[in-house]
Structure 1
Amino acid sequence: MREFELTRRRILAGVGGIGLASATAGLGTSAYFSDTETVESNEIRAGEVDLYVDYETAVSQDGVTTGSTTNDGTIDGDGTATGEYVINDLTPGDSGSLQFSPKIVDNPGWLWIGSTVGVTDYENGQTEPEGDVDGSDAGSLGNVPSGAGAGELSAVLQVDVSYCTESGGVIHEFQNPADYTLADLFKELESGFLLDGDATTTGTDAYPSSPDSSTQNGPCLCIEWEVPTDVGNEIQSDGVAFGLTFAAYQTRNNPAPQNPFADATVLPGDAIQSAVDDASAGDVVSVFGGTFGDGSDYTEAIDVDTPLTLARASAERPVVEHSNGSTVDVQADDVTVDGFEIRNPGTQGSGDPTDYAGTVGIDVSSGSENVCLQHNVLADIGTGDDDANPIGILASDGTSGITIYGNELRNLEGTDEDEGAVQAILVNESGTQITDATVRGNTITGLLDTRSTVAVRFNGDVSGVIDGNEISDLNTEGTIPGSGGAPGGFTQVISLAQGGGSATGPSNVTIRENTISDVETTTSDNFAPPFHVVVGSSTDGSTVTIESNEFSGDSQDDEVYVGDGTGSLDLSAVLATNSFTPAGTISGTRIERS
């Protein structure tokens, strides 16, 4: 029996052109599902693999009649199937769902979902209220989508993805981050994802076969969407279109699944670096973890010097553990690293206590712009070396446009042997400005040092957003190296500072919707109490916004919720627009725990 190969250019079943439109009253755009697959004789033989995808759509608009249309149908691989999904007068609070029910007839198969076209936002012109808050006017008001690339709808439509039954009951939710958007989902789907044939067990199984196109033996896929009620006028008249593709091939004679949306697939036991070295600009390298291949972890450092996407292939997260320096080193623009578990205990013992960037999880080298680090776990950084000076993610000079989104950073540990700080995320300018840095939706916990501990630090001439992160369990305890026993330094959750290699501090920074708790500096007589947010004296405080954060104090410690070294923050406004438990009070240039 001959094996066949699926590539990014041989997609078996497609769903294309799904659209939702946000409009003023009475204005909407049509949206279609379509299957335009072409099956060639040398790719699939009759009776071996036949993929059907049923779909159902729904919308809820608070009982208001808007003329929106939902539809159901089947993509059967025998031509083009279309089903209209029209959402008129989309407003904050509206919601809906899409359900896909795949069936592989005759043989079980590896079933993939991905997107070869991604998301396209349409501005569709602007109403007067939208023009007041959004300067990206493009296209024109009307029934035909226009102004491609200028709309905002995909970035505000929140989605939840789950495995579900035919009747829509949830079997197992995906790891949907808080405030997960349509744009976030399709960013991940660009690299393809292997669907699980049995969502009730651990691991990833092949998708079961069905005897015919009507019998559902595997789990369905449900995508629920909602427009948040707090969305403003910036989405008026906007529209969005996106395309989904399902692809399947038989498991028989194909025990190692190959990702049809990727240019290279790596399994445990193979070398990630070899695939990266062979890649061309724009390629996707898909990496399996867990029980695939020989089931081992990856132990090599990874150097990425080509613009590419490096992403996990399934729910089983690939583990990459190195023992010195940086586990992943990014040295190119437009790189995405998505879905790995990255460790660096530093057990080789070669750390230098004076090297403030000694042991690093992901290092984004100077000048590497528009890098995206998302949905990774960075754990056990520096736990095996007293001299480690551990940093989870380090972005150096000129790394403008960096996005650090939806990662989990946990268990970073230093000692009184090192001379730097434990830092989960450090964006560090030392000569070339860093603009548009985004640190969003990360979970940071379990940071411990005897000198100083920082969760997120913008050093030098950096601008950007620190948004929606959950940060807890930070502690500094011990003595300063070489001091003869003097107490340790400080604990700072979010720090805006000048940094040793910069001539200035950050500016144009927004800190919002972060949740901060369990922050300590337990060594007695430390020279500073723990700070939740510290705005250093070289920061342009007049351009810093701190709003909608939740600060929770520890009753055992003196704590500073917000410290303003610039004297230009409006602390009364900060006190009024954030939540403090226990209450905060203004004392000079600080908001302190009462």
Structure 2
Amino acid sequence: MTRKQTTFSRRAVLRHGTVAAGVLGLTVGTASAATTVSGGGDALQSAIDAASDGETLTVVDSAVYDPVTVDAEVTIEASASPTIEGDGGIGAAVGIESDGVTLDGFTVTNPGGLLGVKVERGRDDAAISNNTIEDVGPTGRLGVTGVVVGQGDHSGIEIVNNTIQNLDQETTDDSGFPTVNGVLFDADNSGPGTVSDTTVNNNTIRDIESDIAPLGIVVQHETDGVDINNNEIRDLVAADDTDSDPSDDVDFGFTFAQGINIASPATSETTLAHNIIEDVTSAETILPEAIKVDGDGGGLTVRANQLLVAVGLNNRNGTDNGNRDPSSDPQVDAKNNYWGSPEGPEEADFNQDADDDDRSDVVGNVDFEPFLRNPPGGKGRGPNN
């Protein structure tokens, strides 16, 4: 049976970081079908293949399940502690190929594999919530990622209340550019598409390591109504291991590490708020950055974040017209953030000019005044005015 949703939007609830009791269970009309799943192996994929749109599949045991491809509009939830484990290849442990898919309450792993969960090109209304996505990689090729939203336009994506941890990528001769991403909105450079009405809220992203670049959250699509709020991003380590591993003869000569990277060609109504970004380290040349704007920063609002990294916000390369002259960059609105010191941030011309100390730096055209003198919610004075 097809389930008709009420006009009380689940996304409207989740984008503010709270869930009202009973809201997610409200339906109008005939109730949708419900199926229980157990036994591990291919049992979950078999249930998905047999499901109708609107059906709820509840996994009731703590078994290990094979990777799944979800090509029906279904809710997949857990009442126990099941694991979906990838096959270690270039595919995802969970591939979402339909609109309206919910994945709730699982552990998702892919040891030696590339991807944890992937929302395929152009799919809308995917809800990835209350999962632990861990132990993905290393693969020796390209970007190991916990949750990836693929190319094309997307609307109504919810990545909420997940723990994304223990992702690893190591350099090999055929590795390309071996980054690791907690959450990646992976756009096509020639046609980036737009992500709208989307939330990345209340996630913990931690323990991510790469020989060259660990990244917490990366947005490459154009944005129109995107909230990245209340996330904790920590323990990102860029450590080129060429010296420690003689078999690894690939040396890029630099590393970088970023909590949030905005590489969007255009941004509108995009908010980064109440995130905590700390313990981000880079071994060579380029200092770690809490927020890096590589695209258009003109539509960003950055509020009440704790930017506890050497470079709190770097907008030197962020432009909306491709001009690399930093004086013409759109100004990023980053008022009322905490920069690790009651004195606010220091200003630097380049990443390499910043100081790696307890007081974060800003680079490029950033409006950071007033700033918070204490972490949000702490005692003492807030904005410096």
Is TM > 0.5 for Structure 1 vs Structure 2?
Answer: yes
For residues 532-587 of structure 1, what are the alpha-carbon distances to aligned partners after superposition, in whole Å with 9 as ceiling and x for unaligned? 00111x31x2211100111223xxxxx210011332225xx62x401121442233
CA contact (8 A) 1:156 1:182 kept: no
Identity %: 25
Alignment of 1:84-163 (within 5 A): 149=8
For 1:304, the aligned partner's letter is V
How big is the shift at 1:336?
Answer: 0.7
Distance in 2 between residues matched to 1:483 and 1:153, nearest whole Å = 50
TM-score, with length taken from structure 1: 0.50
For 1:579, the aligned partner's letter is Y
Corresponding residue for residue 275 of structure 1: 47
For residues 228-281 of structure 1, what are the alpha-carbon distances to aligned partners after superposition, in whole Å with 9 as ceiling and x for unaligned? xxxxxxxxxxxxxx69xxxxxxxxxxxxxxxx9852110134610110001111
How big is the shift at 1:155?
Answer: 6.4
CA contact (8 A) 2:15 2:199 kept: no
Equivalent residue in structure 2 for 1:266, among 24, 27, 37: 37
Work out which of the two has the higher radius of gyration on C-alpha atoms and give 1 or 2. Answer: 1
SS at match of 1:333: coil
CA gap of 1:152–1:470, structure 2 versus 1, over 3 A, is closer
CA gap of 1:462–1:303, structure 2 versus 1, over 3 A, is same
CA contact (8 A) 2:140 2:178 kept: no
Corresponding residue for residue 20 of structure 2: 182
1:549 pairs with 2:321: no
For 1:333, the aligned partner's letter is D
SS at match of 1:577: coil
1:337 pairs with 2:103: yes
Equivalent residue in structure 1 for 2:330, among 568, 581, 584: 568
CA contact (8 A) 1:382 1:388 kept: no
Corresponding residue for residue 377 of structure 2: none
How big is the shift at 1:368?
Answer: 0.7
Q: CA RMSD in A?
A: 3.1
Count of matched residue pairs: 323
1:381 pairs with 2:136: yes
CA gap of 1:367–1:117, structure 2 versus 1, over 3 A, is closer
For 1:376, the aligned partner's letter is N
1:462 pairs with 2:223: yes
CA gap of 1:568–1:366, structure 2 versus 1, over 3 A, is same
CA contact (8 A) 1:450 1:488 kept: no
Alignment of 1:466-545 (within 5 A): 466-478=228-240, 485-498=251-264, 504-521=265-282, 523-524=283-284, 526=285, 528-536=286-294, 538-539=295-296, 541-545=297-301
Alignment of 1:393-432 (within 5 A): 393-396=147-150, 397-417=152-172, 418=175, 419-430=177-188, 431=191, 432=193
CA gap of 1:151–1:280, structure 2 versus 1, over 3 A, is closer
Question: Where does structure 1 lack aligned partners over 5 or more consecutive residues?
Answer: 1-7, 9-115, 121-147, 158-178, 191-241, 244-259, 291-295, 348-358, 499-503, 554-558
Corresponding residue for residue 336 of structure 2: 577
1:307 pairs with 2:73: yes
TM-score, with length taken from structure 2: 0.75
CA gap of 1:155–1:519, structure 2 versus 1, over 3 A, is closer
Corresponding residue for residue 82 of structure 2: 318
CA contact (8 A) 1:456 1:494 kept: yes
Distance in 2 between residues matched to 1:468 and 1:261, nearest whole Å = 33
Corresponding residue for residue 297 of structure 1: 64
CA gap of 1:461–1:332, structure 2 versus 1, over 3 A, is same
For residues 282-320 of structure 1, what are the alpha-carbon distances to aligned partners after superposition, in whole Å with 9 as ceiling and x for unaligned? 111111232xxxxx311x1101111111111x2x22111
CA contact (8 A) 1:413 1:449 kept: yes
CA contact (8 A) 2:11 2:158 kept: no
CA gap of 1:308–1:497, structure 2 versus 1, over 3 A, is same
How big is the shift at 1:425?
Answer: 0.4
Distance in 2 between residues matched to 1:329 and 1:380, nearest whole Å = 17
CA gap of 1:262–1:288, structure 2 versus 1, over 3 A, is farther
Question: Where does structure 2 lack aligned partners over 5 or more consecutive residues?
Answer: 320-328, 362-385
CA contact (8 A) 2:14 2:160 kept: no
How big is the shift at 1:589?
Answer: 7.6
For 2:270, the aligned partner's letter is V
